[in-house]
Structure 1
């Protein structure tokens, strides 16, 4: 596409799944076909879209995997067959209660790098829609995909988790004695609400050590009186783990509840926590 600023990003190459997911969500909103009322993106719609945690990788490949599972019959190993059953029932999201989301993550972590894994290759003229599907008609690809599926079941078992464990069990954080189950997915899964465990190559007995991704989140709109904002600071108001303000907003994030942010002077004064710090310059 000519005339696109390089600041937007590279063109003519496959786009990241999360980038494609965002564009698909915008298109779905404007067409009115995304399941939400109307066809405009207001503040409420944006909050809903961000936190519905759709897993684009799952949406792109699960139909082909499910069909291949059905066609394979009794030729699969025990772990492969179990993986088929779990992922067939998976809801294609990375919500905390989504059973099978950790299995898909470990499966896709391996499968995404299988040579020529896509059934529909990348088309520069359709950078949002392609690549897509799994090329399960090619024997070598089918064998590699099923191997990755069986391996993923084994990886979860070795870490101490069932194949159908809900995401919020391994993806959680202990805050002052309370285990908080977290929703969200990795960049390579194409989840807008990104939670990553950087430095961790796969799930381990402690689950996922989430250390990157959605941090400060803010949605702003305007009414007759000015800005109206809601936001979340997921790691809390303090970086001191001993502070009661450390991770104090993580329960809100887990519950998908946004906090009103003050803008007008009276609102700021009402929510003030301490003496203002004035900088001399």
Structure 2
């Protein structure tokens, strides 16, 4: 999914400083952010660098001093935009670089290398998760709550992947698809413990029954008819 705030340009990339005043060579980070696809897909490279940069910038969507194009209630999709490059944003990038450098995490790593949930029923197998933090402006919210990074600089997801549903239309009418991101069974020995999580990881949406015939075909158990 796109990151709505993701059009970041950092200039003077050789003179960035972290919050402690140390000079940070940001050339590599600059190139990675320039080539980032501005998505939080599993193969997106640089999404994590933007995440920590964005977390370090002190703003909200209506802060007039952060964006060159201010928030417009008549254009909420495209505004605000244009992050202003100044000492604060340079420091934010410097701190982001240092955060990963201190943990020996490559700035060019793919999101799938860093962001996942754990299947304790299968020897703590990691299931890579796409998505991002709500602050990043994404639809598929996947966050680490409680600690900034539970496993080094990795993002062990424990928030956001609940019930997700989309509705589109084809020639036959509504098309409903959904996920239960954490799956249904808390019992780690059950086959439904992480089945939908794996589908979510691979974006294999589950088609929901909508028509009477679909409902009848997929019904489980005895039919119950309700009357007033």
Please show how residues 196-211 of structure 1 align to structure 2 within 5 Å: 196-202=143-149, 204-205=151-152, 207-211=154-158
1:46-83 superposed Cα distances (whole Å, 9 cap, x missing partner): xxxxxxx1111113xx2x32xx2xxx264344442332
- Could you report, residue by residue, the CA deviation over 1:147-193 in whole angstroms, capped at 9, with x for unpaired residues? 11111111123334111211111111233254321111111000111
TM-score by length of 1: 0.64
Contact 2:68 2:83 in 1 (8 A): yes
Pairing 1:224-235 to 2, within 5 Å after superposition: 228-235=175-182
Aligned to 1:257: 204
Q: Which residue of 2 aligns with 1:21?
A: none
TM value normalised by structure 2: 0.78
Q: How far apart are residue 109 of structure 1 and its match?
A: 0.3
Asked if the contact 1:80–1:147 (Cα under 8 Å) also holds between the matched residues in 2, the reply is: no
Residue by residue, what CA displacement relative to the aligned partner does 1:81-107 show, whole Å, maximum 9, x if unpaired?
332122122111111111110111011
Secondary structure of residue in 1 paired with 2:6: helix
> Quick one: higher RCO (CA 8 Å, sep 6+), 1 or 2?
1
Count residues in correspondence.
215
Q: 1: CA distance between counterparts of 2:70 and 2:173?
A: 47
Offset at residue 241 of structure 1 (A): 2.8
Distance 1:131 1:227 in 2: 33
SS of alignment partner, residue 133 of structure 1: strand
CA 222–206 in structure 1, closer or farther in 2 if over 3 Å, else same: same
Deviation sequence 1:218-264 (CA, Å, 0-9, x none)? 23457787764322222112122332211211111111111222356
| Distance in 1 (alpha carbons) for counterparts of 2:116 and 2:147 | 15
Larger relative helix fraction: 1
> Which residue does 2:3 correspond to in 1?
55
Instruction: Provide the rounded CA distance (Å) in 1 between the counterparts of 2:37 and 2:173.
Output: 40
Distance in 2 (alpha carbons) for counterparts of 1:85 and 1:224:
45
- Alpha-carbon separation, structure 1, partners of 2:27 and 2:167: 47
- Structure 1 residues 243 and 148 mapped into 2: Cα distance closer, same or farther (>3 Å)? same
Query: Runs of 5+ in structure 1 lacking a partner?
Result: 1-52, 137-141
User: Structure 1 residues 242, 90: CA separation in 2 closer, same or farther (over 3 Å shift)?
Assistant: same
The residue aligned with 1:16 is none
Q: Tell me which of 47, 51, 59 is aligned to 1:113.
A: 59
- For residues 33 and 96 of structure 2, what CA distance do their matches in structure 1 show? 11
Contact 1:232 1:249 in 2 (8 A): yes
Describe the shift of the 1:272–1:241 C-alpha distance in structure 2 as closer, same or farther (beyond 3 A).
farther
Confirm or deny that 1:188 pairs with 2:188. Answer: no
